[in-house]
Amino acid sequence: MELYFSPVHFIAVPLFAAFLLPLLGRISQKLVPIVPGIVLLYLSVVALTLFPHAYEAPIVEIIAGWRPPFGITLIFGPLAAFLVTMITLIGFVVWIYSYRFIIRQPLEKYYMLFMLLIAGSTGIILTGDIFNLFVFLEITAIAAYALTAFLRDHNGAEAAFKYLLIGSFTSAFVLLAIIILYANVGTLNMADIAMRMSDVPVKIKLTIMILFIVGLGIEAELFPLNGWAPDAYSQAPSPIGALFAGIVVKAAVYALMRVLFTLFDLSISSNFLIVMGTITLLIAEMSAMRQQQIKRMLAFSSIGQMGLVLVAFGLGTKEGIAAALFLMFSHAVIKSMLFFSAGYLVFFSGHKNIVDLEGMGREKPWTGFFFSLGALAIIGLPPFSGFWGKFYLLISAANSDHMLLIVLILFSAVIEAVYYLRVVGRLYFKKLHDIEVRKTPFTGLLAMGILAFVTLTIGIYPDFIHELVLPAANELLDKAAYLQYAMMGQ
């Protein structure tokens, strides 16, 4: 079947836009914020067009005619289709929000880094080559460091430096793992590596796996490697916090799972993921409850949600992985909405502390409404999408006889409800501070409204997403099928 679009577009088009924007900025500043929107709209159309084809049969793109295992391949199967479509759509909504929120110069720098982050994140998901996965990780990380320091103030620079310092360990550990891997199997194609892993001595195999878990676990916010996240989330502008929660961390989690499920035997890492995911969840939720600043609270909440996702992947069943993907989708939508609304609450109040937001729910009804709706959704109350992610996870845990795990997940949900409802209570049941209340731009309301609509719609019709994540989960589990089509043996 001939396709008019190719998965290459997801990498090439935003990369071209990133290099074009500084030149465009010299011609007209008005065009700078428009071009990324056109690019993301185009990528969303490409993703939605390729989506049904990928679910029918994975699309394998061979770069420059070099067939695997010698050349580089891009693989657009059900899992990649689900995640890449999610990233492009979330990216488009972030662009709508940024259009009036980001007004600080140089605009071309912000949008150039935005485009690099999109190209790097989609590249991580699409590539079938382990070294290219490292390259795309670096592109994403460098863009994320620079975006953290975009406001060029002391706190932003400090957070970016901390992120850079910890992120450099990601580079070192992943690169070292790839070097050892290549020295033992002599190939960089992930499918070819998977077929040769049985020849690698067990001790070396374990060393490589630990290096990958530590390296990729830093970007995936795995405890205790997530020290960069609270500062980066809280000091960066709000749309960047949404980019981190909705795109960067999701791509890193995918990279970690692709490596563990395809290159190694999952039974070795399954219990490790459940234990570390649970620890990450509990510590992050308890830390979130102690926070005085709203964006730091959202940051720790994001870390907790990633712990939940890792637990779901660790169950290793089709239902568990489907629950993890549902949680990733739900978290990307809801947490972006929370960062958007929190961004305007902080902007209007002029303060980051929760106590300074008292009464703003009544003065800023729509912004307060979207934050409250996001809070109820992320807690997991029906009829929002957050409910179904947790519900599917609890069902999967029960089917796997992990009763203690169910208790701990429910305990963390109670903690989560306490600190989110505390903020909602302050928004509506406290006296407003003496502040100048301004109007929320239409683009901000539109972006939050889209995400609220998606959260509510998926909450009412969860099967729409659940039926999409089941084939994606099957792809991650069916290693033999992945190896077959990745090596063009389909």
- C-alpha span between 163 and 227 (Å, rounded): 8
Handedness of CA 245, 231, 222, 216 (dihedral sign): positive
- C-alpha span between 460 and 352 (Å, rounded): 34
- C-alpha span between 124 and 138 (Å, rounded): 10
- pLDDT given for residue 490 in this prediction: 47
- 442: which residues sit within 8 A by CB, 6+ positions away? 100
Classify residue 464 by burial, with Cβ atoms within 10 Å: 0-12, 13-18, 19+. exposed
- pLDDT given for residue 435 in this prediction: 65
Residue 134, CA atoms < 13 Å, CB-side half-sphere: 19
Residue 173 CA to its chain's centroid (Å): 21
- C-alpha span between 159 and 181 (Å, rounded): 33
Long-range contacts of 373-376 (CB under 8 A, 24+ apart): 373/337, 373/452, 373/455, 373/456, 374/334, 374/335, 374/337, 374/338, 374/341, 374/451, 374/452, 374/455, 375/338, 375/420, 375/421, 375/423, 375/424, 376/420
What predicted TM-score, i.e. pTM, was given to this entire model? 0.93
**pLDDT at 181 exceeding the cut of 50:** yes
Q: Is the peptide bond before 106 cis (omega within 30 degrees of 0)?
A: yes
Mean of pLDDT values over 318-332: 93
Average of per-residue pLDDT values in the chain: 88
- C-alpha span between 86 and 472 (Å, rounded): 13
Cβ(4)–Cβ(70) under 8 Å?
no
- pLDDT given for residue 65 in this prediction: 75
- pLDDT given for residue 25 in this prediction: 84
- pLDDT given for residue 221 in this prediction: 80
- C-alpha span between 287 and 282 (Å, rounded): 9
Cβ(283)–Cβ(359) under 8 Å?
no
Q: What are residue 127's phi and psi, to 5 degrees?
A: -70, 145
Q: Where residue 455 falls among pLDDT bands split at 50, 70, 90? A: very high
Q: Where residue 220 falls among pLDDT bands split at 50, 70, 90? A: confident
- pLDDT given for residue 460 in this prediction: 94
- pLDDT given for residue 56 in this prediction: 87
Q: What confidence tens digit (pLDDT) does each residue in 354-408 have?
A: 888 888 888 888 889 999 999 999 998 888 988 999 999 999 999 988 889 899 9
**pLDDT at 2 exceeding the cut of 70:** no
User: When comparing pLDDT for 306 and 431, which is higher?
Assistant: 306
Region of 58 on the Ramachandran plot (φ > 0 left; ψ -120 to 50 alpha; else beta): beta
DSSP 248-317: IHHHHHHHHHHIIIIIS-HHHHHHHHHHHHHHHHHHHHHHHHH-SBHHHHHHHHHHHHHHHHHHHHHH-S
**pLDDT at 340 exceeding the cut of 70:** yes
Q: Where residue 338 falls among pLDDT bands split at 50, 70, 90? A: very high
The residue with tokens 């703003």 is 360
Q: List the Cα angle 264/321/92 in 5-degree steps.
A: 110
Mean of pLDDT values over 454-458: 94
Cβ(121)–Cβ(138) under 8 Å?
no
Q: What are residue 266's phi and psi, to 5 degrees?
A: -60, -30
- pLDDT given for residue 149 in this prediction: 84
What is the separation, in whole angstroms, between the first and last Cα of the chain?
Answer: 14
Residue 205, CA atoms < 13 Å, CB-side half-sphere: 17
With helix as H, strand as E and coil as C, how does 360-383 read?
Answer: HHHHCHHHHHHHHHHHHHHHCCCC
| Lowest mean per-residue pLDDT among 293-302, 434-443, 451-460 | 434-443
**pLDDT at 152 exceeding the cut of 80:** no
**pLDDT at 4 exceeding the cut of 80:** no
User: When comparing pLDDT for 154 and 115, which is higher?
Assistant: 115
The DSSP secondary-structure symbol of 197 reads G
Q: Where residue 150 falls among pLDDT bands split at 50, 70, 90? A: confident
**pLDDT at 17 exceeding the cut of 80:** yes
Closest-CA residue to 195 (of 185, 206, 204): 185
- C-alpha span between 185 and 431 (Å, rounded): 66
Strand partners, 74: 61, 127
| Lowest mean per-residue pLDDT among 263-267, 401-405, 453-457 | 263-267
- C-alpha span between 163 and 93 (Å, rounded): 25
Q: Where residue 178 falls among pLDDT bands split at 50, 70, 90? A: very high
